[in-house]
Structure 1
């Protein structure tokens, strides 16, 4: 019997949020590498190497589980993970255009709602979910989260104008393109949660093998392998076309020492990304009867800590106070919406449990 503690679970989700919010910062330390080269190397660690290492270390009979896994669950989880691969690319490029705080806030705000709704649509129960006790509260929270995303988008367009008026001209900022990319990333991030849901039978086998609170590490590699496959094909083809793959080898433009440093920073970035779901899995199990709140809780942690990273990166240095207030209103609205969604889910779960 696994001991549960929602307080510890919340703390684990917070650690995962910190890891996710900072996972692309190492890119600022790479030198003489294009963004595509960095992305390809960090993806190798984020989606293949680290999930395999963590799974092998924490799940008994890790590799044998995939032989026992239902083929339908395996391939659907893999293909949906592949769809998220496009979302990951969009997310990374959006950071280049609108920064950390806006990219995380908008995409995660979208993901929090869709990541909750998608499984209900696919597995059934959408109408029952909203018509049962607490359903109207959850719906209110979701509508409020949409309002929060709109506030943040408004702040982004205000920031773009402020930078043109008060900026030094050195900051690249394109809110229109960034909004498109973050919207794609947010939708496909919700698809990644759906991929993990389809992979649950794999986690169930791991649980029967004695994986305990680490059962989720068995299904993670299936979903992330799909992510990596899409990114690998895309960036290898792109690298061959623009000849950026030569950045991986020492030459006149880059020394072997710089390549080693770049690999280390990229590996660190990929490890941080992977750790977010390592701690998400631990936190999810520890939440006990509050597991329904894991996804939105994790998303709120991501938004909060990405905002802190954005402040440390001085992304909002040259904006007017009105723009900053609009951003804060959006952040507060989003976090409040997640609290309302969690509360509504809690009401519904409590009534169901009492009835049983």
Structure 2
């Protein structure tokens, strides 16, 4: 396995770790509605940071974006909006299925859809199936899916041991939302593929290969921002129990703390895709489709590790923890199989 491929897998792990930890600052927010907290964090994640980073990288910010036709930008934007819809469905999935079942189904579906649909749409799936490297890589995707399932099952065992139940549990509604979340969340993978002409233009503008994907985030996350912010603002305006005015009328120390924690969460959410770009840059172009599989499987892996570090698994017994560790090892094995497939 080449050093570049190992580095690519490592950066995907770093990005996934940031994604797994991003909600920790949000948990420190007090007496704010979820909508206010999510909007502020998202504003920095989807708008401020992508625009700032692109302005720093691009020698001619406006000239770069105006050089693309609408036919190039529109799919990138729409796939970003698709990813934004997946974000909203993700939260609703947790509401009706609980964390472990919701994550297992939603991440499993988005892993498969986001990873395999790109080569299928490009007409390259047949070539992958008939090449030794492609076969090994696809085996790694399958093994990763098994690992995600094992970790998710360990999470269900943990919830049962701790007596955690979902008050609004609704299997039929939850499964529908999980499927929608899995499909729509894969929009980020599709958007990255649709943005390849933007990456090439950034490269031609003299930007390092590590950073060529970052200017496309202005368009991709712009689509996601419109969906998420519209959802939050509509709820704030129409739900009597929610009040932006009340959220902003808190004492200044608490208001400042809430703002800082929300912004920190948004920064960590953005960093997952910052390092995603670094990971993808170190993987051969013909295997870019596995970047999404690495990101999502490492996301589940890091989520389990974070839970252990924060002692969320204390008192659940040895069996769920052993199952979690087994799932983590399977995901690590899957990453190595994918790496071997890419290198062969």
Normalization by structure 2: what TM-score?
A: 0.85
Task: Tell me the equivalent position of 1:280.
Answer: 276
Distance 1:335 1:14 in 2: 10
Pairing of 1:262-301 with structure 2 (within 5 A): 262-287=258-283, 292=288, 294-301=291-298
Cα shift at 1:234: 1.1
Q: How does 1:1-356 map to 2 (within 5 A)?
A: 5-93=4-92, 98-99=98-99, 107-164=106-163, 183-213=179-209, 214-243=211-240, 244-247=242-245, 250-251=248-249, 254-287=250-283, 292=288, 294-347=291-344
Provide closer, same or farther for how the CA distance between residues 84 and 119 of structure 1 changes in structure 2, counting only shifts above 3 A. Answer: same
Q: How far off is 1:124 after superposition?
A: 1.6
After superposition, the Cα gap between the structure-2 partners of 1:50 and 1:226, relative to the gap in structure 1 and judged at 3 Å, is: same
Structure 2 CA distance for aligned equivalents of residues 160 and 109 of structure 1? 19
Deviations along 1:57-101, one digit per CA (max 9) or x if unpaired, are 1222122211111322211111111111121123345567745x8
Per-residue CA distance 1:166-210 (angstroms, 9 max, x = gap): x7x9x9796957776555443333221111110111121111111
What stretches of structure 2 of length at least 5 have no aligned partner?
none
- Quote the Cα distance in structure 1 between the aligned partners of 2:114 and 2:313: 29
Q: Provide the C-alpha distance between the structure 2 equivalents of 1:108 and 1:240, rounded to a whole number of angstroms.
A: 31
Contact 1:77 1:196 in 2 (8 A): yes
Unaligned runs of 5+ in 1: 348-356
Question: Is the Cα–Cα contact under 8 Å of residues 105 and 178 in structure 2 kept in the other structure?
Answer: yes
Q: Secondary structure at the match of 1:328?
A: helix
- Distance in 1 separating the partners of 2:118 and 2:314: 40
Contact 2:148-2:300 within 8 A present in 1 as well = no
- CA distance in 2 between counterparts of 1:127 and 1:303 reads 29
What is the RMSD of the two structures over their aligned residues, measured on CA atoms? 3.0
- Does the Cα contact within 8 Å between 2:29 and 2:257 map onto a contact in 1? yes
Is this contact kept in 2: 1:109–1:149, CA < 8 A?
A: yes
Specify whether residues 146 and 295 from structure 1 end up closer, same or farther in structure 2 by C-alpha distance, changes over 3 A only. closer
Quick one: distance in 1 between partners of 2:15 and 2:120? 27
| Secondary structure of the structure 1 residue equivalent to 2:59 | coil
2:46·2:225 contact (CA, 8 Å) conserved in 1?
Answer: yes
> Cα offset for 1:211?
1.4
Q: Is the 8 A contact 1:23 1:269 kept in 2?
A: yes
Aligned partners of 1:51 and 1:105: how far apart in 2? 29
Q: Deviations over 1:24-55 (max 9, x none)?
A: 11111111012122111111111111111111
Q: Distance in 2 between matches of 1:107 and 1:117?
A: 16
Give the whole-Å Cα distance in 2 for the aligned partners of 1:11 and 1:334: 14
Q: Displacement, 1:118?
A: 1.6
